[in-house]
Structure formats: C-alpha cells, structure tokens
Amino acid sequence: MSAPNRNEGTVGQPDTPYGFEVTLEASADAVRAALGHIRTELADRGLSQENLEIVELVLAETLNNVVEHAYAGLPQAGLIGVRGAYAPDDLRFRITDLGKPMPGFTLPPGEAFDVLKLADELPEGGFGWSLIRLLSCELEYSRTGDMNLLALRIPLAAG
C-alpha cells in the first residue's frame, strides 16, 4: 500500500475539505490493511463510530469485489486506487482498477434480502451490492479503455 496523498483540513470546517488517496495491491491482505488505514485517517478527522463502520463496510464490499471479480483469473494481481473526499454531510469515493469490466458494463442490481429470515436459511454471499446500495448513493460505474471507475457517495449520519 502506498502512502496517502493528503489535502489537510479539519472535518469540522466545511471550507477546508479533506481528501486522501491510497493505492493498494488487489489482494485480501492489502484490502484489510487499506481499510485499517482509511478508518484511522477518518477517525483522526472526527468521524463518529457509526459513520466509520458504514464507510468500512461499503469499502470492504467494494474493494473485495474488485479483488474477487475484476482481477479473478488474471495472471498477476493488479492495483486498486481509492480516492476519498470529505464534505460536511458526506464522503465521496472514487475507486479505480485495471481489471475485467463489470458484466454488461453496468453495476449489478443488488438483490433485496429479508433480514428476518433465519441465518441458516440465507445463502452465503451475494449481499455485497445490496449492502453497498443500501448504505451509499449516487453510484456510477464507467469503463474507459482498460480502467474501471466506480464513484459513490456515503451520506454521514449526524453525531
């Protein structure tokens, strides 16, 4: 994982945006390390525990999808770029990779699931895009040349 580039600012000051950029190898270990780094960066800026957990869940699902699908079967692990920007009411992320495109060059729909079903009745996996769609908004996917770009916004809960 490369060191972040920072635009210094304080979360509580809307006129001073805070941004960061992280580049990581497309592997499960690198995703875990990047999530820890991003969580620390955002915690240092005063994000609440609830917001940190939401950001971590959305990014974990997104980055693991890149590792498991975009780079699956390719001869070598590629890189994933994560750029984050803070605004007073939300966080915006741009995630890039040079892996395979999304099927049909479009975002998966994310199937609805019934949280009231017993755990043993629910299938393993398949909830990633549902969670991403539930916890974020303004999802946009594009493919330019060999690069995938996913942009999304995570509204911040008060507190």
CATH of the domain at 101: 3.30.565.10
Strands 90-97 and 137-144: unpaired
**Number of separate domains in the chain:** 1
What confidence tens digit (pLDDT) does each residue in 79-110 have? 999 999 988 789 999 999 999 999 999 998 87
Q: What is the pTM of this model?
A: 0.82
What confidence tens digit (pLDDT) does each residue in 118-142 have? 455 544 456 789 999 999 999 999 9
> Domain residues for 55?
5-155
Indicate the burial class of 51 (C-beta count within 10 angstroms; 0-12, 13-18, 19 or more).
buried
